[in-house]
Amino acid sequence: MNWKSSGKLTYSPRTHLKSSENWLVVMCDDEIANYYRCLYRREFPWLSKLQRPVWGCHISVVRGENIPNVQAWGFAANRIINFDYEPGVKTNGEYFWLTVHCDELLAIREVFGVRREPKFGLHLTIGRIT
């Protein structure tokens, strides 16, 4: 069973770490990530704590990719996007995320002229071990 949520489409989110040009994310409710980070800490108290992502809980839609249709950049800015996510946490050992399903976000990627499916799929980033 998938769960539902929503977030705001945000272009080039602010960061103090590096450039966020050509990044498009959906800023989501931080309480989703807080919940899963809390569960992680209870399950694995002896491991490193999961850190909050720089942009908080978010879905990466465009990750610094070359945008063939640059005139479309800014399309639907600040739109509220509804999405489904799977409750099972995935990890590569450094980042932790939830798989996201959202045809609207895939269609927005097509407007920019990039591949419909992002390289790492749509995912809701909940934390990182640093």
Token duo for residue 117:
């499916």
Kindly report, residue by residue over 99-123, the tens digit of the pLDDT. 999 999 999 999 999 999 999 999 9
Please compute the mean of the pLDDT values over residues 24-33 and round it to a whole number: 96
Question: Considering only 11-15, 60-64, 88-92, which range has the smallest mean pLDDT?
Answer: 11-15
Percent of the chain with pLDDT over 90: 82
How many structural domains is the chain composed of?
1
SS (H, E, C) the chain: CCEEEEEEEEECCCCCCCCCCCEEEEEECHHHHHHHHHHHHHHCCCCCCCECCCCCCEEEEEECCCCCCHHHCCCCCCCEEEEEEEEEEEECCCEEEEEEECHHHHHHHHHHCCCCCCCCCCEEEEEECC
Range of the domain at 21: 3-128
> Does residue 21 surpass a pLDDT of 90?
no
Beta carbons of 106 and 100 less than 8 angstroms apart: no
State if pTM tops 0.85: yes
Beta bridge partners of 25: 10, 60
* Angstrom distance (rounded) from CA 28 to CA 116: 21
> Does residue 19 surpass a pLDDT of 80?
no
> Does residue 26 surpass a pLDDT of 60?
yes
Q: Which amino acid is at 36?
A: Y
Report pLDDT for 18. Answer: 63
Q: What angle do CA 3, 32, 46 make, to 5 degrees?
A: 120
